[in-house]
Structure 1
């Protein structure tokens, strides 16, 4: 059951109401914050979610205050909505709890790297930097929370490996919030205008829901902070028009399960006219091997000369990949390549962290260097779904104009 916070008028679970309300008054300089909030409200609201002002006492008090409700300000309904949204953001920054996690000494990625280094010298592996594993918990999100857990895994990378992301993510809190807080952040992204078609699938509300999410929700959430989130579609279903094979730029929207069930005619009608000839077709790479090749090229893009050295494990500067298919999602933290016996073809294995696995089990198998391959490696024959989606985050922070452009989620579309 939900109750309304008497301070910020946000719906919260009844069992958390007292704790939530008390958080508003933990700051000894509350009066100072109120004066600063008054000044902020009279300025032009920032168009960037990353600039988070101090929390007001309540929406009702804000609206009652004559100084805030001048005639000019009343006429600007957009400005009023923006200030109230900023109030919601600042309250969320104050109250969002850090997600609980089983901490692995040294980190799972260090353990994985050591195991990969002990493998055959004929292999080459490329892996991301630090990534924490967030497992689904039976009493909290088992069966529906994998999408949120993957967002948490990507967030753990961004917070530790990219300073610009750490400065803007989750109000600069410096930690990965729990799932209810992430749901609030996604609602704020929708309110900001990110992925409008996708938000309608949820009626613009996700807090407290057990509905599945996918890559487009992941992209919308990260983009709302000014991060350059990208989506890639891999599709093997035949086109109704039956003649095209290549890469296309198109607009996409979630949730993922609905996206996968859309008719082929709907997909064709949503494609833009920016068509690129597929390099994979040119090289006669077919089937799910196309996805493997794409992931290898993605992680290897900045590895460059390191791959020419005799190192069999290389650290990539790329973010992990949110890896979605119908019914489940996981996080790709790297890829391994092994030359075939003839030396003419490469055999790839995706390196995956699955929210459905227990972190303790992953840690034990990696420390013992025994059985971890079954939990982490995925070869091409395990890819049996006709459609997959990936989401990743490019470096840097978007400019104001680019931030506006990010509100429409585009994808690179690859048919194989």
Structure 2
């Protein structure tokens, strides 16, 4: 819950309202400064978005044409705004709520690894390490919360597998927050100027709203903590981008949450158009699965390797496509007819119940229909993946991470 401070009208978490209000009475000078700051913020909101840039901030708080005076006002504003942002973060760290997740004895990935190793035939699998399954709940986020659930699944992996991420994620809390808390963290990322285009798309507000999000918001959230979140765009449409001179795909700036993935009412297609789509689909399927296989295979652990299953040190993949998003936790390869390999994606879907996943994996019966997705199911013209590389960004990198772009792979 968010409440207005009765002294300065600044929005703070209800749980921290009393502590915030008491600060005003510790120092009369501080009270006056807070009142002035509240007045400045009100002026800024009435004139322009306070995060549009330094020139807007300075212009909102002074009518003096003297450059030195404007610069001084702007510096003072940034100082006060930074203190407010720090206070919001501090409040959120203490008030955020742990996400409710069903505990699976032994872990979902351990059960999946056992199932994969017990299968007959010749196959090789690449899977990620520890991850929790976070399911959508009918009473909370049915139909719109899949993106948030995938963020929670990725977070569970990072908190368990990467000590450097555990130190910075969610204020060092060490647990996966619920959706409302994640929404507040995303708003704070926007306040820090991460993904200005995306924040404008949402009018800078997402807390308490049942709004669809996508890979852009996932990357924004993790980047705001200094994590190297990357987006890869797989696209067959003509207008998606161009190759650079060296033959590599040019980076594409990501705009909006998942606009191009939303279902649109398009006119019926001719048979020739459908044939062309089938050809593009087959080509896109191979490009996508080749990339995913190489991704997981590029950084493997020696500790858990068996003849059939190799555990990768790479993070799971946030997998976005038209109308839905899921989490890819691995990929299976089997020798097909001739020299063509057959691939199957291993996916955790927020739309499935955790109890069903655990039951089928533990019994080794029926789990394939919940986890496996064959290449033939990949018939969309566009896909996006989001993953998190290791390491923490320094101050210079943090500025670069504020612009959300993607690696474009055309097929």
Quickly name the TM-score band, shorter chain normalised.
Answer: 0.7 to 0.9
User: What per-residue deviation string (whole Å, max 9, x for no partner) do you get for residues 37-69 of structure 1?
Assistant: xxxxxxxxxxxxxxxxxxx55786699543994
Q: Is the 8 A contact 1:321 1:390 kept in 2?
A: yes
Q: For 1:168 and 1:243, how far apart are their aligned partners in 2? A: 36
Q: Is the 8 A contact 1:9 1:59 kept in 2?
A: no
Q: CA deviation at 1:4?
A: 4.0
Q: For 1:240 and 1:90, how far apart are their aligned partners in 2? A: 41
1:401 is paired with a residue of what secondary structure? helix
Q: For 1:59 and 1:80, how far apart are their aligned partners in 2? A: 15
Distance 1:199 1:107, change over 3 A: same
What pairs with 1:37-186 in structure 2 (closer than 5 Å)?
56-57=20-21, 65-66=29-30, 69=33, 76-186=76-186
What pairs with 1:380-399 in structure 2 (closer than 5 Å)?
380-399=375-394
Is 1:365–2:346 an aligned residue pair?
A: no
Q: CA deviation at 1:247?
A: 2.4
Q: Is the 8 A contact 1:150 1:330 kept in 2?
A: yes
Q: Is the 8 A contact 1:215 1:390 kept in 2?
A: yes
User: What per-residue deviation string (whole Å, max 9, x for no partner) do you get for residues 332-376 of structure 1?
Assistant: 01111111132x111111100000000000000000101111111
2:315 to 314, 319, 327: 319
Q: For 1:247 and 1:304, how far apart are their aligned partners in 2? A: 30
Q: CA deviation at 1:253?
A: 2.5
Give the TM-score of the pair, scaled to structure 2.
0.79
Q: For 2:106 and 2:76, how far apart are their aligned partners in 1? A: 52
The corresponding residue for 2:255 is: 253
Q: Is the 8 A contact 2:261 2:322 kept in 1?
A: no
The corresponding residue for 2:69 is: none
Q: For 2:242 and 2:164, how far apart are their aligned partners in 1? A: 44
Q: For 1:399 and 1:65, how far apart are their aligned partners in 2? A: 36
User: What per-residue deviation string (whole Å, max 9, x for no partner) do you get for residues 11-37 of structure 1?
Assistant: 66xxxx5xx358x77xxxxxxxxxxxx
What are the ranges of 5 or more consecutive residues in structure 1 without an aligned counterpart? 26-55, 263-284
User: What per-residue deviation string (whole Å, max 9, x for no partner) do you get for residues 291-335 of structure 1?
Assistant: 01100000000139899x861101100000000012110000111
Distance 1:381 1:65, change over 3 A: farther
Distance 1:296 1:412, change over 3 A: same
Distance 1:64 1:131, change over 3 A: farther
Q: Is the 8 A contact 2:301 2:312 kept in 1?
A: no
Is 1:302–2:299 an aligned residue pair?
A: yes
Q: For 2:354 and 2:160, how far apart are their aligned partners in 1? A: 19
Distance 1:136 1:58, change over 3 A: farther
2:199 is paired with a residue of what secondary structure? helix
Q: CA deviation at 1:132?
A: 0.2
Is 1:337–2:333 an aligned residue pair?
A: yes
Q: Is the 8 A contact 1:223 1:229 kept in 2?
A: yes
Distance 1:163 1:169, change over 3 A: same
Displacement over 3 Å in runs of 4+: 1-12, 56-75, 239-246, 258-262, 304-307
Q: For 2:120 and 2:22, how far apart are their aligned partners in 1? A: 62
Q: For 1:168 and 1:219, how far apart are their aligned partners in 2? A: 15
User: What per-residue deviation string (whole Å, max 9, x for no partner) do you get for residues 145-175 of structure 1?
Assistant: 0000000000000000000000000000000
Q: How many residues align?
A: 355
User: What per-residue deviation string (whole Å, max 9, x for no partner) do you get for residues 58-92 of structure 1?
Assistant: 78669954399499899511111011000000000
What pairs with 1:171-320 in structure 2 (closer than 5 Å)?
171-239=171-239, 247-257=249-259, 286-303=283-300, 311-320=307-316
What are the ranges of 5 or more consecutive residues in structure 2 without an aligned counterpart? 37-71, 265-281
Q: Is the 8 A contact 1:9 1:58 kept in 2?
A: no
